Amino acid sequence: MTTTSAHDTPEDNAPLGGVHIKYLHHCPRQLWLYCRGYRPEQRSDLVAFGEVVDDTTFTRRRDVDLGEAKIDWVTAGAIVHETKSSRAPVPAHAAQVRHYCLLLERRGVTVRGGTVHYPLVRRTTDVPWNADARAAAEASEAEARAVITASEIPGRLKRPACRGCSYLDYCWGD
Ligand code: SF4
């Protein structure tokens, strides 16, 4: 198990990627641990399954690497696309896409919106990009920074909400 220590504390202004925003919305504790070097997701079967779905579903797409974030692909008119291996949308998915829209906009791109793809259920959901979405993305960013720089580890979620989380071992000793 990876241990955490004071020198692992991340910098206040370190760039935030999609995974930071996804973890914030899933569980602030997960974000806090991730930013201190705890990365059990590399061993998680669920994550590995997601990567397989991701790798085999869309063969013609091109990643857009922003440094702090890697966007699955962006189509004409600046529509951000994100692929998920889950069968149902959760708020974290749209929040992640909004974060990508924000990052692109800050680089001078006129963003039109986003789409989350759920290939296992052949479904997509649109993520609008407008003033409200921008405000939500900025709020998520601020919230993530507050969690990351907190001196205390955030509390656990209720046990049923932890189902499938790759941090179960750390949090619950499973
Ligand atoms: S196991 Fe539960 S409390 Fe721990 S990081 Fe995952 S969701 Fe959060």
Give 117-164 pLDDT, tens digit per residue: 999 999 999 999 999 999 999 999 999 999 999 999 999 999 999 998
Asked if residue 9 belongs to a domain, the reply is no
Q: Report angle CA 164, 149, 128 to the nearest 5 degrees.
A: 60
Strands 79-83 and 70-71, sheet pairing: unpaired
> Closest Cα to atom 4, ligand 1: which residue?
171
Position 121 scores a pLDDT of: 94
pLDDT for 31-90, tens place per residue?
A: 999 999 888 866 555 555 455 445 445 444 567 777 777 877 776 677 888 989 888 999
Gap between the terminal Cα atoms of the chain: 13
> Closest Cα to atom 7, ligand 1: which residue?
162
Asked if residue 60 belongs to a domain, the reply is yes
Q: Looking at this protein, which amino acid is placed at residue 86?
A: S
Pocket lining: 154 vs ligand 1, CB cutoff 6 Å: no
Asked if residue 143 belongs to a domain, the reply is yes
Pocket lining: 31 vs ligand 1, CB cutoff 6 Å: no
Q: Specify the residue for token string 């806090």.
A: 32
Tokens encoding 48: 């590995």
Q: Looking at this protein, which amino acid is placed at residue 77?
A: G
Q: How far is the CA of 134 from the centre of ligand 1 (A)?
A: 28
Pocket lining: 171 vs ligand 1, CB cutoff 6 Å: yes
Beta strands in the chain (DSSP E): 64-65, 70-71, 73-75, 79-83, 113-118, 123-128
Choice among 10-19, 26-35, 147-156 with the minimum mean pLDDT: 10-19
Asked if residue 3 belongs to a domain, the reply is no
Asked if residue 33 belongs to a domain, the reply is yes
> Closest Cα to atom 5, ligand 1: which residue?
30
pTM for the model: 0.80
Asked if residue 30 belongs to a domain, the reply is yes
Tokens encoding 111: 């963003």
Asked if residue 141 belongs to a domain, the reply is yes
Domain that holds residue 141: 15-172
The number of the ligand 1 atom at minimal distance from the alpha carbon of 157 is 3
3-class secondary-structure state, position 2? coil
Asked if residue 10 belongs to a domain, the reply is no
CATH of the domain at 101: 3.90.320.10
- Spatial CA neighbour of 166 closest among 67, 87, 49: 49
Structurally, the chain folds into a number of domains equal to 1
How far, in Å, CA of 91 to CA of 26, rounded? 8
Burial of residue 120 (number of CB atoms within 10 Å: 0-12, 13-18, 19+): middle
